[in-house]
Amino acid sequence: MKMSVLEEKLRQKNLKITPQRLEILRAVQNHQCDHPSAELIYQAVKKRYPAVSLATVYKTLETLVQIGEIRVAIVSDGKTRYDTRMDRHHHFLCSACGGVQDVEMRMDCLETCTPESLIGKGTIHRGEVIFHGICSGCEAKQAPAPNTPLL
Ligand SMILES: [Zn+2]
Ligand SMILES: [Zn+2]
């Protein structure tokens, strides 16, 4: 999204546009493939705005979620991981490196056949799956080098 469009959105919500806020959004966009945590955004923003506080980063991320600019991808180990991709997709979380990758998967079933245990619990708007495992990068690191002689 162009920054001018974002500025307009913030203005419509009567939110002040500060260079820090814009930098925070930019940092989330730059780290999209990592599904960054608030801490990672904080580290990135601090490089250009050393005075920024972690609390400001948290609050701004919350605001950006509220205005629908970003969303929460997953919460893992108590850390919220953010996502600028708003279309429906799922996630694969690596338990070794903490990496979060996007997963494309059709789940039409969730719209057409509500699981029995959900009936009566309310209106479902979307369903998301989190796959847990070890990513191929971490697997490659763990596997012994192919030329290592077996002792
Ligand atoms: Zn990994
Ligand atoms: Zn994602």
Q: 111 and 45, same structural domain?
A: no
Domain end point (choices 85, 111, 128): 85
Q: 134 C-alpha to center of ligand 1: Å?
A: 5
Domain shared by 21 and 57, yes or no = yes
Question: Domain check: are 23 and 73 in the same one?
Answer: yes
User: Residues 70-129: pLDDT tens digits?
Assistant: 999 999 888 999 999 998 899 999 999 999 999 998 776 665 666 788 888 888 777 888
- Cα 145 to middle of ligand 2, angstroms: 32
Backbone angles phi, psi at 14, to 5 degrees: 60, 35
From start to end of 67-140, where are the E strands? 71-76, 79-83, 90-94, 100-103, 130-133
Q: Which residues surround ligand 2, an ion (CB under 5 A)?
A: 73, 83, 85, 102
Reading the block at residue 87, the tokens are 């279309």
**What's the confidence (pLDDT) of residue 6?**
72
- Judged by its nearest atom, the ligand closest to the C-alpha of residue 71 is 2
Instruction: Give the number of the ligand closest to the Cα of residue 137.
Output: 1
Q: Are residues 4 and 69 in the same domain?
A: yes
Identify the domain boundary among 85, 107, 135: 85
Query: Which residues span the domain enclosing 111?
Result: 87-145
- Residue 120 sits in a domain whose CATH number is 3.30.1490.190
- Residue 47 has what pLDDT? 95
- Can you give the CATH number for the domain in which 66 is found? 1.10.10.10
Ligand nearest to the backbone CA of 93: 1
CA of 135 to the centre of ligand 1 (A): 4
